[in-house]
Structure 1
């Protein structure tokens, strides 16, 4: 068995001039994985490379694949993902995974920027302030989910209503309103965060519906799931696919 020509070419585009140490220690595995992930999978659909790598980075945060994330930062950069986009993916992940799980990924992007002589801090992308973040968060929820979300921040039981309020002013008002990624990209990475971490089926169905509503249709989501499958495996990929079907139904 040998690594296919297509897989070799794709690997060279991701990591110019780099030869994996695993070729020496685990040659059979590398042949199996590279031929699948970097030939069969990448040629399965017409998802553009930039979108593919944004989805992969989000997926790796979702499944806590910090070592692979560090590797794929370099590949994503070679396929046009900018440092600002990298940062925005990580920042938004805090709302869906919490700082406890995102902390090392924030440092990974900082280390990547330093290694590539990219000055930190990057240009700020915030578009809201403490006065208008709630208003802007409401608008973001309405734009993505529909008019039924207009009063969501006031919903829920009195003892937990503050969490729905935070979801509006913090998750959407602080993060979704930022520049660097548009709504479609932000909903896609949210879908990836939820699919990769597992155990979030209700939220995954909801965000699958939101993706479809704003134009990330069923075929697009299936392509995203397919491209991320080598990094999260079959169970969570099949679960994500089931949630997309539930959203459509």
Structure 2
């Protein structure tokens, strides 16, 4: 079936709800065999590490302060990230992606804050690396939907399906075509960075604990280690919000327990 919804799936309310539900309690990831559709290019695996780089450490803080509209601390986190080697393009991409989790108003406000930060740094004689724009050609129509479905499956660990998508199948079409297609096919930000940003935003948002737990597991699927995620929790506790850190800690513990059960023989 041809994708005929390029304009409507860009609604912020639809996208935010769809993404939350895609990893929530109402959705199950089925391991049933499906057609083997692969994305145009799967991001290369990155070596496992026990600590986050200075650049990576800034990402969840940027996301958390964006989610809570804490502009003074967002300003500080953006400066921290740029000082650590985050390019302007990467910083913009983080804030653009997060509209799927925090909504357009917070994304627009945060991008405005980034503009101020970059200009203020120029006035101080700091020339930040601009970075690059996405180089990959984003497909359209049926090909976009297929690529997005493949990306979604890889991040979720299995094809995402369940009663909710039987009830409202179009919501998964929006999810696959736009978030996992249009956004995740943009190759100017790696998937580990995208997940670090997602975790920071969700940890700072009360009421989305099931999605936070699912993204803890997704983060490990794209190459982040449990040690790195514990460091993320420490960063939130030290620089962010104690409740956000507590939510993230509980989510990681539950994700690890689930993974351990899945690996145990029956």
- Common fold: TM-score over 0.5: yes
Structure 1 outlier segments of 4+, above 6 Å: none
2:222 aligned with 1:214, yes or no? yes
2:113 aligned with 1:108, yes or no? yes
Select 1:90's aligned residue among 73, 80, 95: 95
Contact 1:154/1:161 (CA < 8 Å) preserved in 2?
no
Q: Aligned in 2, Cα 1:212/1:46: closer, same or farther, shift over 3 Å?
A: closer
C-alpha separation between the residues in 2 aligned to 1:107 and 1:62? Answer: 14
Determine helix, strand or coil for the equivalent of 1:179: coil
C-alpha separation between the residues in 2 aligned to 1:64 and 1:111? Answer: 15
Q: Aligned in 2, Cα 1:122/1:211: closer, same or farther, shift over 3 Å?
A: closer
Cα offset for 1:200?
A: 0.5
Cα offset for 1:130?
A: 3.0
Q: Aligned in 2, Cα 1:157/1:126: closer, same or farther, shift over 3 Å?
A: farther
Extract unaligned runs of 5+ from structure 2. Answer: 1-49, 258-266
Higher relative contact order (CA 8 A, sep 6+): 2
Cα offset for 1:187?
A: 1.5
Determine helix, strand or coil for the equivalent of 1:189: helix
Bigger fraction of residues in helix: 1
Partner of 1:225: 233
What RMSD, in angstroms, separates the aligned Cα atoms of the two structures? 2.6
CA deviation map 1:167-226 (0-9, x unaligned) = 211111121221221112211211111111221111111111111223212221111111
After the TM superposition, which residues 44-83 of structure 1 pair with which residues of structure 2 at under 5 Å, given as runs? Answer: 46-83=51-88
- What is the TM-score of this pair, normalised by structure 1? 0.72
Structure of higher CA gyration radius:
1
Extract unaligned runs of 5+ from structure 1. Answer: 1-44
Cα offset for 1:89?
A: 0.6
Determine helix, strand or coil for the equivalent of 1:80: coil
Q: Aligned in 2, Cα 1:247/1:109: closer, same or farther, shift over 3 Å?
A: same
